[in-house]
A and B are shown apart, each in its own frame.
Chain A
Amino acid sequence: TLSFKFHQQPDCAKRQRRRGRERMSYVLRTLRKKREVDSIIRDTIDTVLVLRFGRALDPICLQLDDILSKSEREVSKFATVALVDIDSEDVQVYVKYFDITLIPSTVFFFNAHHMKMDSGSADHTKWVGTFLRKQDFIDVLEAIYRGAMKGKLIVSCPLPPQRIPKYQLLYKDV
């Protein structure tokens, strides 16, 4: 289980808990089957695909979902955002394949190719945790898009280190 990173729960999280599950589903697509994930990866052409792996009710996930849903429309011209529920069995293949151990984890794709980002942490394959601001997310997305358009599979993170959430990565459960 993931420990709290913030002292206070964000307000949106409280509201969403009261209202129940799947708060963000009306804005962002939530995928529960491998087939759905496959189809969205294959059908997103020439735009960045953002797949957030996490649980809808986890507070950090909620904050990330909030940011994603707010900026989804703004980046819609060059990016698509979707959520993947890690609690569904069908998706466990991907959970293993992408080595998802901490949630929320965000994986970026471009033309069915996985995009890596060097954000100063150990894991370049995904973005672990949430963003501090909406603009941070958009900056990261833009960096990925620019790199992808130039043909780079790995890009460096435009955010300064203090804005990147820190976490510990365990090597093979050690």
Chain B
Amino acid sequence: MKKEKKNEEYEFCAVCKLNHNQGRRHNYFPNHVKSRSAFLTRFQSKLADVRFFLKNPSLLRPEHASRNRLWCVFCGSDIDGLGSTFACGNAIAHLVSADHLKNLKDFLWKYGGGMDHVDSFRLSEVDLARWEKKCKLLKTDGASDRSRGVVIGPVNDIQLNSENIDTFIQSLNSSFSNGVVEPLQIYTNERYQVSHEIFRVQELGPLRQDADSYLHVGTQLDNNACSSNYFTGKILLWVEFLKAYTLSGYSEVPSLQVRVAASTLCSSDQPPGLWLHRLLMLSSNLVQVHRDERTANSECSSQGLQNLTQISSIVCGDAIGNVHSGAPPPWLDSSEGKQLDFKRSPFNKSRKCSKLNPKRVGAAWAERRKVELEMEKRGALAKNFDANWLPNFGRVWQSGSRKESMKEFEVETKKSSKVETQCEMPMQLQPYVSKKMVSFTFTFTALYALVVLSYALTFTALYALVIL
């Protein structure tokens, strides 16, 4: 005995974003499973950002608070960065909360996520405690001491590099000593982008020697009794260099120093914009120094304020031509034959598909007529149709086929035309002779003629006898 199908109420599946009346079965449908995994993956990526800040707490500047929003899909609520001193502070607090856990469990139960994934979408109290400790340390340490300490560590292992570093340092010093205050030439989000990128960069590999050398430069400067501003500037520059490094395709990035740099960046009180600008200009020199180490075609130019990858087209260049020189596009040249063939075959198919129904009304007539028209076009086959041609018409009070009705009509027309012609002939007056009379007279005359003939014969016979 089969179960009777329940007529379930419609409910909304937030994962698939559709209304269904499948009830609990819906959670096992493949489409739902797909949507669910995509949904959860998306949220996980957002949580990954939050987790980063959990491990590396950094001070949240008020201007960046608006970017610190998170929409918690389980609770259906926005978590913004108001009132939190550290980046993603509110989000972290939310993720630890009991309410969130409850909502998470409800969601997973409702949409069938598997209850073992609960921990991946929330943060434990242990994590929270660790994070809070780090935050405290961050607050108390201020900017430089801690960071400097860390920097000096690996310095002992570093080798000094070539003259270009020295020249670079000199140029840097000169620019710094000018002390010209320049207006902010980049938007503040540039800095955010920079710092943000650095955070991502952190995930990548081991140290690289050249980078170390520059770090050493930094420390040297420090030893030359520069102010903390200089140091910040150095860090920024170095940050820029790192970015250039990553953009050029190197996957090796110093991790420890980046973290340091990041923390100092965030904690500095200077408007970084102007420093950044200057350092961008200067770091471009750095980049060019290492050009030969990079691949031929791509290079990173941090000239100006945009971080676009410049592709040098010297190799490909002028021989072939481009849009401006009016050259044909590459796809036409190579695959012209292919293109046309591709065009033709579906076109043929569509032609065939639009062939008219052979069973349609008057199909045979239409085909014949088409042929006739073509012949007329070509050879002037002036086959004019009969003036009395009539179309196939079914009359109103029709009984029988349409041909019969046509015949009827023709008969009727003939009759009407006959009647007309008869009326036109002149009337001749004649005496009325009845048929009987005609017949009678005919017989009478015939008899009379016979009698006369018989008399004539007897008389001639008698005469002949008398004479002889």
Contact = CB atoms under 8 A, between A and B. Distances in A.
Contacts of B366: 45-46, 111
Contacts of B393: 97-98, 114, 125
A149 B358 CA distance: 9
A159 B262 CA distance: 77
Interface in A120-159: 122-125, 147-153
Contacts of B93: none
Interface stretch (A18-26, A35-43, A81-89): A35-43
A116 B363 contact: no
A113 interface: yes
Interface in B266-310: none
B362 A38 contact: no
A38 B391 CA distance: 8
B385 A42 contact: yes
B387 A34 contact: yes
Interface stretch (B64-72, B315-323, B394-402): B394-402
B359 A171 contact: no
Contact of B357 (A109, A150, A171, A172): A150
Q: Secondary structure of the A side of the interface?
A: mixed
A98 B430 CA distance: 43
Given A38-B385, A112-B365, A153-B361, A46 B392 contact: no
Interface string B365-397: 110011001000000000001010111111111
Contact of A111 (B361, B389, B395, B413): B361
Contacts, number: 85
Contacts of A96: 409, 413
Contacts of A110: 360-362
Given A38-B385, A45-B366, A45-B369, A112 B391 contact: yes
Contacts of B396: 99, 122-125, 169
A97 B394 CA distance: 9
Interface string B398-431: 0000100000010001000000000000000000
Nearest to B405: A97
Nearest to B388: A93
A111 B391 CA distance: 10
A111 B362 CA distance: 5
B356 interface: yes
Interface string A36-69: 0010011101100000000000000000000000
Contacts of A113: 361-362, 365, 391-392
B394 A114 contact: yes
Contacts of A150: 357, 359-360
A79 interface: no
A39 to B, nearest CB: 8
Contact of B373 (A43, A97, A149, A172): A43
A41 B360 contact: no
B414 to A, nearest CB: 13
Q: Secondary structure of the B side of the interface?
A: loop
A113 B385 CA distance: 16
Contacts of A34: 387
B399 to A, nearest CB: 14
Contacts of A114: 391-394, 402
Given A42-B369, A45-B370, A99-B395, A115 B361 contact: yes
B392 A149 contact: no
B451 to A, nearest CB: 61
A42 B360 CA distance: 16
A171 B396 CA distance: 10
A114 to B, nearest CB: 4
Most buried by A among B366, B370, B402: B366
Nearest to A147: B361
Given A115-B361, A150-B360, A109 B395 contact: no
B392 A112 contact: yes
A88 to B, nearest CB: 16
B257 to A, nearest CB: 73
A55 to B, nearest CB: 21
A149 B387 contact: no
A96 B416 CA distance: 12
A98 B402 CA distance: 12
24 contacts: A38-B389, A38-B391, A46-B366, A93-B413, A97-B393, A97-B409, A99-B395, A99-B396, A110-B360, A111-B362, A112-B391, A113-B391, A113-B392, A114-B391, A114-B402, A122-B396, A148-B361, A148-B362, A149-B356, A149-B360, A149-B361, A150-B360, A151-B359, A153-B394
Interface of A: 34-35, 38, 41-43, 45-46, 93, 96-99, 109-116, 122-125, 147-153, 169, 171-172
Interface of B: 356-357, 359-363, 365-366, 369-370, 373, 385, 387, 389-397, 402, 409, 413
Given A112-B362, A113-B361, 9 more contacts: A45-B373, A96-B413, A97-B409, A110-B360, A110-B362, A125-B396, A148-B362, A149-B360, A151-B359
Report the 7 A-B pairs with minimum CB-CB distance, sorted nearest first. A111-B362, A151-B359, A113-B362, A148-B361, A111-B366, A114-B393, A99-B396
